[in-house]
Structure 1
């Protein structure tokens, strides 16, 4: 979506940048206020190749995709990047699978993913300063508190441009 197509107010973006585990990953997430909630648009390139899981390892992809509670994208520990973003955004203290920050997984198409979805769990003004994070593994939407979605590959802070 081009900026010229976006409304002049009530929208925000998060510019995603890959960390040490996925340095070529980059993308953008748009959040747009619409009646009864928010429309979310994401476009990402540089996702790692899919690798099926085994009895001892998680798959790589589809990729967990979440809104996290803290607006921090500092790499910190290169083996556990972006941990400063803390847990999923969950203002109503719901169990995992129903957090406001639980988004659908991203499916890679040769490293590219594009998706849009609607949520009624927040408005744009509620999430300014939060972080968007892409994870290495798919979210299982059951494991508490964060869905067992693995290491953090990319991060971006939600802001008004």
Structure 2
């Protein structure tokens, strides 16, 4: 599956407070779901006994813009077309585990198709998702964002 071009990709960029964050989240449509592959660099890297775990979600908004209080406010809330409680939103993803500022994750899900999430946003949060707090898991400040675009747009 990974020998082909993904159907969509989000190019991630950090907020003003986290300008070193960059990377990509790729989406591969399969028969029974979607393989999501994330490769992120420049995450905050605490040295001593830090968890270095970051909340990671697809959000319903279509823009990585915002304001002084929330640089990605227009990313909206978690993508949740079926109205499920957290952590059963379609956009709830496993957390990213940072390793000296780098994270890699591959995850398979049947909660959405690539077509359903194209145009939406992917968010990395400063804190891990607690998988309990409603409506969004208490995962803290949005520190990076990327808009999910079809592969054809990405390779022009």
Q: TM-score, normalised by structure 1?
A: 0.87
Aligned to 2:80: 90
- Would the aligned equivalents of 1:74 and 1:82 in 2 still touch at CA under 8 Å? yes
Partner of 1:11: 7
CA RMSD of aligned residues (A): 2.0
Deviations 1:40-95 (A, max 9, x none): 00000000013789xxxxx7730000000011101422x42201111000010000
Aligned to 1:158: 148
2:71 is aligned to 81
The aligned residue for residue 59 of structure 2 is 68
| 8 Å CA contact retained: 2:87, 2:137 | yes
**Aligned counterparts of 2:60 and 2:52: Cα–Cα separation in 1:** 23
Gaps (5+ residues) in structure 1? 54-58
CA displacement, residues 111-140 of structure 1 (integer Å, 9 cap, x when unaligned): 000010100011100011000000000001
In structure 2, the residue matched to 1:47 is 43
Supply the distance in 1 between the matched residues of 2:31 and 2:48 (Cα, whole angstroms). Answer: 39
Alignment match of 1:25 (pick from 3, 10, 21): 21
Count of aligned pairs: 151
SS at match of 2:97: coil
Q: Secondary structure at the match of 2:140?
A: coil
